[in-house]
Structures are given as structure tokens and as C-alpha cells.
Amino acid sequence: MVLILIDHADGQIKKASYEALTYGADVAKQLGTTAEGLLLGTVTANITELGKYGVTKVNQVSNEALNNVDALVYAKTIAEAATTLGAKVIVFSHSQTGKAVASMVSAKLKAGLVTGVVSLPKTDGGFVVKKAVFSGKAFANVEIKTDVKIISLNPNSYKIVSAEGSAEVVQLNIAVDAPKIKVTAVNKVSGEVPLTEAEVVVSGGRGLKGPENWGIVEDLAHVLHAATACSRPVADSGWRPHHEHVGQTGVQIAPNLYIAIGISGAIQHLAGVNRSKHIVVINKDPEAPFFKAADYGIVGDAFEIVPKLTEEIKKLHNS
Amino acid sequence: MKVLVCISKTPDTTSKIAFKNNNTQFEEAGVQWIINPYDEWYALVRAIELKEKDASITIHLVTVGGADADPIIRKALALGGDEAIRVNTTGDDSFYIASQIADVAKQGGYDLILTGKETIDYNSSAIGGAIAGLLDLPFVSLATKFDLNGTVATITRELEGGEETEEVSLPVVVSCAKGVAEQRIPNMRGIMAARTKPLKVVEPAAVDALTHIVSYELPPAKAGVKLVAADNVAELVRLLHEEAKAI
Ligand SMILES: Cc1cc2nc3c(=O)[nH]c(=O)nc-3n(C[C@H](O)[C@H](O)[C@H](O)COP(=O)(O)OP(=O)(O)OC[C@H]3O[C@@H](n4cnc5c(N)ncnc54)[C@H](O)[C@@H]3O)c2cc1C
């Protein structure tokens, strides 16, 4: 059986979980077995509907203490659930929750772990998964040698597919340890598209000259329902928050569309974004290295081009 | 108070990534090695800042690697570590590496274990959690702020679309991301002092690797950029809509 962790926040299932569910269901098909979900804590979303993504059953540990991710408590609960249910493959999303708990579950179960996986495993003689390495500059094919296998799926690497279907919800009776970590404050940036989950990302660099000029980036992001990002010097200068810094030493992303404005395309920047499906570069310097890594480009002044681009996209939406 | 900082050696960020022996091994020729930026800029520097406020803190470094990791660990000592342990083995399986560090940690009795949020070569984000799992300690991942008040740590960590502040009593394992501290440059005095700081080499614990890298590959090359004239932005929108189907 393939067991997929269903990640949630504020009562809602996260988008990355739909990817993980679709992926896990396809792994199960490939192995000729079934796929089940595992949900820790409580949600307001309709759990039976998760059957649309290919799981026949969702196992739930309805303990409200699990609505906060205390990694140790969470990991122990997952390890016990996986053992009780006889899971052979455990699928996480390589999200904040996955990064907090997948490796702990691996340690608890002594089960081989590969994180940041980008495609289905090769299962003809062994179990080999492909993962992103060198911060997006390469991939590694990694064999998991243990009986139980743990993988975490990179966000935006697997297309969500849904069909008719509903899942049976089964309550699991697992004693949950008292959390050792106390959450004292939660600070949500509401209305923003999370960077790693975004289909479209609009990103600005030093070419924008100062934080007061970010309005054109935000306007473009708004019409595209995009997340905003930036280069490292922009975050380091405090023009934009740190969590927007993409690149080798920032967040690594793989959106469907990445629009780089006034970013030169240094090797460390490219490393974090070059798995984007389509890259658009707007830069006034025709020699900017970013053009070599781009699919589409405009050589010109961002302050003129970006507002026009926003207008043209509005026109497209209205047509 | 004893703080253990995990240090990894990674290729410099400008390194050309290439492979040899039929794409089964990383081509190390010509590569400059650095301390993994997350380990250095955030985990180690934060430990140094804590020590500057509380002189009773000692900073212990651990790395898992061959003798070629010694220059890296010396640099970390130059920045401000007090002593270092190198576990004399190499590997790319996170469980194997974490088991070696957990073994060191069991013997050292540390109050706080810091790692970077991931290494820039394998990008696994797996070592901190696995160490905590092996030691049965609480783990906070992707910290962007870290403070100590006696034996209670106050930690802010990244969430998708926000952040969360947490309190936890030591001992704890924390993986550090941007925001925890600022990069520092080692000074001459630190570099001189590092030469005589203790660097102990220990042999690895007998643990099996649970995964194994079979081969590497490079991403497919881009076909080449399509340039659109600056006075024809509508054409870019048309291409993105009709050709790329991205908007
Ligand atoms: C160890 C290390 C790690 C690093 N990690 C990262 C990382 O993770 N992410 C990252 O981004 N960087 C990283 N860097 C920094 C990286 O090397 C570059 O310095 C950085 O990416 C440059 O940012 P930028 O493109 O915004 O600025 P610049 O390189 O200054 O480029 C600005 C660009 O804007 C263009 N421009 C100027 N005016 C206009 C205009 N009016 N209209 C249009 N275009 C204009 C210019 O032609 C230029 O190409 C790292 C560096 C090191 C040493």
C-alpha cells in the first residue's frame, strides 16, 4: 500500500497535497497496489472528496493537537500509522511540513528516504527515483534499498489529475504524545500566493532600483494571480522580505511561468529558477546572462515594458 | 551550555556541475569547496552570536567527511567554533550521515544542535530531522529567527505564506534558514587561532546506507530565447498565451 500524507492548514487541504495524492495513486498503480491517505488532525474540508485524486481510503487521526506540526509528535504518529497499516511507500510533499517530518519518519522506521523527487519511480528491478540536486543544476537517480520507502515530491513537479471518486474515512486510534513545542504566535500573510506553490511567479532584481518601484511588479503579479519573488541582493537590502529570495541560497521554485524583471541571471540565481517551465526575461542589457536561460525575452526598460505587459494581459482577460 | 553545529562541505556556488564515470560520480576536478552557506551564514554565525552574549557557551562542530574536509572545518573554527569532530567517512544517504552525527551527539551531550536548512549540493533538508528522530528530540525546521532565554528557545519558522513563533525547552535540534543571522568574514586572529583548536577525527559507526545514487543527469538545454521587440509587448502576451499556453 502507498500511504500519502495529506497536509493542511486552517482547516483546508494544501494544493501540494493534491499533487502528492495524484502522484501516490500513480505510484500505487505502477506497483499494482492501493493508495490511501493519512490525515493528522482535523479539517473543515470534505475528506471523502479526496477520493477524486485516486485514494480509496483516508485514515485520520482526529486529534486536535496535531493541527500544529510539532515534528517529533507528528513523525511518531505517522511512523506508527504506517506500520499499523502496512504501508510500503510513504509519500510526502517536499513542503514545509514534509521538510519537518519526512526525515524523522525515515529515522524512526529506518526506511530509506529521497526528498525533492520530480517524477514517478522506475520500478523495473529496484526502486529508483529522480530528485533535483545541486540546487536545480542537475538531477540524481537514487535507489531506495529498504523494504519501506519514503519519498517527498517537489512542489509543482506533478500534474494534479482528478476524476469521479470518493474515499472512505477511517479513524485511526493512535495515542499521540503531548507536544513539546508551544506555538506562541502565527503570522499569516493573507491573500498572497505561496511562492513554492505558485503557477506563475513575477520576480524583480536590482534593476528596479528601489523598493518604491515594486508597484509595477505587484500589479503584473496581481493580473496573473502570481506570487512575487526577488533576487538575493534585493532581499539583503531589505527591499523585499527574505522569504521572496529565490536562488541557490534562497527558495528553489519550478513554476509554469517565471518572469524575471531587471535580474542579470547570475549562476546562483538561475540555480533556483531554471526548472521553471517557461522563463521570460525583461532586461535593458542585451548581454545579460539571463537571456541564455530564457524562452522569451524583451530587451528594454522595465519601467516602460512592465506596465504595458500588465495592460496587455488585462486586455487578454477581457477579450 | 554546549552547542553542536553541523558543518558540510559543498561545491562553491559558481561551480560548473559535471559528472564522470558514465554520469555516476560528481566531477570534482577544478571545484572550489566551501562551507555549505546555510551551515555557515546562519547556523554557525548564530551560535557565535549566542556565545558573544553568554561566554559559558561552547561551540562544537561536527562534519562527516574525509581528510579533504579539514580546510572547511578549519575555516569554521576560524569563524568562531571552539573545537571540532570529523567523522572519517563519506556518503550521500541522509540516514547514514545523520546516524554518524547522532552518534557523536549521544556521546557529547549537547543542549542545542544546529544545522543549515539544507545543503546546496543534495538539497535534501533531511539531516536535522533525522538526527532529531534518532535522538528522539524535538525538531524545528526552517528557522528564520532563533533566541535563547535560559534553557528555553524561542524560534520563528517559515510556513507557506507566513511564519510561526514557537517556544521549546532544550535540548532541541533546529535547522536554520535565512534571517537567523548575517554572513561574517573570518578575521586574521580567528584564522591564526583556528590552527591550534582541537580537531578530533573519529571512525564512523557501523550503519548501513538506506539509499544509493545510481546516476546523475543534467537538465535538458533550453532551445534558445525568442526575443520580442520592446514596442511590441502584445506579441509577448500572444506567445505566452497561444504558444506557451502559460497565461
Ligand atoms: C555564495 C553566493 C550565493 C548567492 N545566492 C544567490 C541566490 O540564491 N539568489 C540570487 O538571486 N543571487 C544569489 N547570489 C548573488 C548573485 O551572484 C548575483 O549577485 C545576484 O543574483 C544579482 O542580483 P540582480 O540580478 O538583482 O542584480 P544585478 O546583477 O545588479 O542585475 C541587475 C540587472 O538589472 C538590469 N537593469 C537595470 N536597470 C534596468 C531597467 N531599467 N530595466 C530593465 N533591466 C534593468 C541590468 O541590466 C542587470 O542585468 C549569490 C552569490 C553568492 C556569492
How far is the C-alpha of A278 from the C-alpha of B236, rounded, in Å? 12
Contacts of B32 in chain A (CB under 8 A): none
**Whole-model pTM over 0.90:** yes
How far is the C-alpha of A248 from the C-alpha of B59, rounded, in Å? 27
- By C-alpha distance, which of B67, B58, B71, B76 is closest to B7? B76
Sheet holding B162-169, edge to edge: A182-188, B162-169, B152-159, B139-149, B172-176, B112-116, B2-6, B58-64, B83-87, B199-202
Q: Is the CB of A272 under 6 A from ligand 1?
A: yes
**DSSP3 helix / strand / coil % (chain B, rounded to 5):** 30, 30, 40
Find the angle CA(A297)-CA(A302)-CA(A304) to the nearest 5 degrees: 110
pLDDT averaged over chain B?
A: 96
In-domain check, residue B34 = yes
Indicate which of A78, A181, A292 best probes the interface with B, i.e. most B CBs within 10 Å of its own CB.
A181
Buried b (16+ CB within 10 A) or exposed e, A112-134: bbbbbbbeebeeeeebbbbbbbb
Q: Is the CB of A192 under 6 A from ligand 1?
A: no
pLDDT averaged over chain A?
A: 96
In-domain check, residue B232 = no
In-domain check, residue B245 = no
pLDDT at A188: 82
Q: Which atom of ligand 1 is nearest to the CA of A267?
A: 17
| Mean pLDDT of the region A211-238 | 97
Find the angle CA(A133)-CA(A139)-CA(A140) to the nearest 5 degrees: 90
B97, B39 contact by CB (below 8 A): no
- Dihedral angle, C-alpha B174, A23, A195, B44, nearest 10 °: 20
In-domain check, residue B148 = yes
CATH architecture of A195-318: 3-Layer(aba) Sandwich (3.40)
| Backbone φ, ψ for residue A182 (5° rounding) | -105, 125
Domain map of chain A by residue range? 2-171, 195-318
Q: B218 and A138 in contact by Cβ < 8 A? A: yes
Contacts of A296 in chain B (CB under 8 A): 225-228, 236, 239-240, 244
pLDDT at A190: 67
Buried b (16+ CB within 10 A) or exposed e, A158-178: beeeeeeeebebeebebebee
Alpha carbon of A263 to ligand 1 centroid (Å): 5
pLDDT tens string B163-175 = 999 999 999 999 9
How far is the C-alpha of A226 from the C-alpha of B36, rounded, in Å? 31
Q: A115 and B140 in contact by Cβ < 8 A? A: no
Provide the number of CB pairs (under 8 Å) joining chain A to chain B: 287
Task: Output the domain CATH number for residue B40.
Answer: 3.40.50.620
Tell me how close the Cα of B198 comes to any Cα of chain A, in angstroms: 30
pLDDT tens string A43-87 = 999 999 999 999 999 999 999 999 999 999 999 999 999 999 999
Q: A134 and B159 in contact by Cβ < 8 A? A: no
The amino acid occupying position A276 is S
Please indicate if any CB of chain A lies within 8 Å of the CB of B68: no
- CA-based nearest residue in chain A for residue B99: A107
The amino acid occupying position A107 is A
* Nearest beta carbon to residue A106 from set B130, B154, B175: B130
How far is the C-alpha of B98 from the C-alpha of A231, rounded, in Å? 32
| Mean pLDDT of the region A85-110 | 97
3-state SS, residue B35 = strand
Please indicate if any CB of chain A lies within 8 Å of the CB of B244: yes
**Residue whose cell numbers read 528522530:** B133
pLDDT tens string B38-74 = 999 999 999 999 999 999 999 999 999 999 999 999 9
How far is the C-alpha of B113 from the C-alpha of B231, rounded, in Å? 56
pLDDT tens string B136-187 = 999 999 999 999 999 999 999 988 878 999 999 999 999 999 999 999 999 9
pLDDT at B37: 96
In-domain check, residue B196 = yes
In-domain check, residue B62 = yes
How far is the C-alpha of A126 from the C-alpha of A196, rounded, in Å? 31
B193 CA to centre of own chain = 24
Best residue among A249, A280, A282, A304 to mutate for probing ligand 1, ranked by most atoms within 8 Å of CB? A249
For ligand 1, atom 51: residue with the closest CA: A268
In-domain check, residue B229 = no
For ligand 1, atom 4: residue with the closest CA: A268
- Cα–Cα distances in Å, from B189 out to A134, B40, B186, B209? 33, 18, 8, 40
Q: Which atom of ligand 1 is nearest to the CA of A248?
A: 8
Q: B130 and A107 in contact by Cβ < 8 A? A: yes
Its domain, for residue B61, covers 2-219
For ligand 1, atom 2: residue with the closest CA: B13
Q: Is the CB of B37 under 6 A from ligand 1?
A: yes
Q: Is the CB of A297 under 6 A from ligand 1?
A: no
> Which residues touch A101 (CB under 8 Å, ≥6 apart)?
A5, A69, A71, A74, A75, A78, A92, B129
Fold of A2-171: Rossmann fold (3.40.50)
> Which residues touch B62 (CB under 8 Å, ≥6 apart)?
B4, B5, B6, B7, B84, B85, B86, B87, B101, B104, B105
Alpha carbon of A212 to ligand 1 centroid (Å): 18
Is B80 a residue whose pLDDT tops 70? yes
pLDDT at A191: 66
Find the angle CA(A35)-CA(A39)-CA(A40) to the nearest 5 degrees: 145
Burial class (CB in 10 A: 0-12, 13-18, 19+), A236: middle
